[in-house]
Amino acid sequence: MVEFFSTEMIFAKVHAEKADSLTAKKYKVSGFPTFVVTDSKGKEIDRIVGYLEAKDFLAKVNDYQNGIGTLDDLLSKAEASKDRTLYFEIADKYKYRGAPEDAKTWFEKVVADGEPTDSLSGEARFSLADMMRRNKEYDASIAAFRTIKSDFKGTHFDETASIYIPYVAMKKGDTANAILEFKNFIKQFPESEDVEYATTKISELKGEAKESK
């Protein structure tokens, strides 16, 4: 990695939350770590959101340098394709670039061109519900997660949506419903690895424990 960034690219590390929030705002960075690959004028080529092992990281950066797997590349391929997985990749890229309307268009295309309750539609619908949450459209987000619960009953989407409902209610500031929904989650999924999280949040919301992040 050191050799690569010493010879192939200019590397700049930005403390986006404190020292340089303007750069984060410019590139619409919403999660960390985010690695933005730009040209010499600062125009974004593409980005990597989250952690990758060094080998995979360098392979993806090299691909981006060669125009492979970038948003522009995927959009070009989509012109002559009905591959819903490709649509999902495009939507995901728009989501992390801070372009929610474009992301919504492509996520909805994933659902429209397939079965509304297949696995890929589930991922797309979940992303749409979470985008509403990020945009502070809390009621719409909760409603979307409830629909996912109903349509995907008995699947992992059901369980995941069930823990997100009280989480969104908590973000909304609706303490009573957040507690109720966390309790419902524990009752419905007693073996879930998220039971401890739900139990902790109930205590915090009741003022019985010190809040955690």
- Each residue of 66-92: pLDDT tens digit? 999 999 999 999 999 999 999 999 999
What share of the chain has pLDDT > 70, as a percent?
97
Given a contact cutoff of 8 angstroms between Cβ atoms, the answer to whether 78 and 90 are in contact is yes
Q: ∠ at Cα 201 (198, 205), nearest 5°?
A: 140
The residues of the chain that CATH labels 1.25.40.10 are 115-205
- Calculate the alpha carbon distances from 92 to 5, 35, 85, 95, 98 in Å: 27, 15, 11, 5, 10
Across the range 201-206, mean pLDDT stands at 96
Would you state the pLDDT for residue 19? Answer: 60
For residue 139, what are its two tokens?
A: 């009621």
Structure-token match 């919301």, residue found: 205
What is the predicted pLDDT for the residue at 21?
Answer: 73
User: Under a CB-based contact definition with an 8 Å cutoff, are residues 181 and 187 in contact?
Assistant: no
Q: What band does 183 get if pLDDT is binned at 50, 70 and 90?
A: very high
Using N-to-C axis directions, what is the helix angle for 156-172 and 175-188, rounded to 10°?
Answer: 160
CB-based contact 117:152 (threshold 8 Å): yes
Candidates 3.90.1150.10, 2.40.160.40, 1.25.40.10, 2.40.110.10; CATH matching 115-205: 1.25.40.10
Please report, as a single letter, which amino acid is at residue 160. Answer: T
Domain with CATH 3.40.30.10 in the chain: 2-65
Give the separation between CA 71 and CA 59, rounded to whole angstroms: 16
Average pLDDT over residues 165-179: 97
pLDDT of residue 24: 80
Q: What is the mean pLDDT of residues 179-204?
A: 97
Conformation bin of residue 67: beta by default, left when phi > 0, alpha when psi is -120 to 50? left
| pLDDT, greater one: 210 or 82 | 82
Q: What is the pTM of this model?
A: 0.86
Mean of all residue pLDDT scores within the chain: 92
What's residue 185's pLDDT?
98
pLDDT of residue 104: 97
Q: Which residues contact 89 (CB under 8 A, 6 or more apart)?
A: 74
CATH architecture assigned to 2-65: 3-Layer(aba) Sandwich (3.40)
Cα 123-126-130 angle, rounded to 5 deg? 135
pLDDT at residue 209 greater than cutoff 60: no
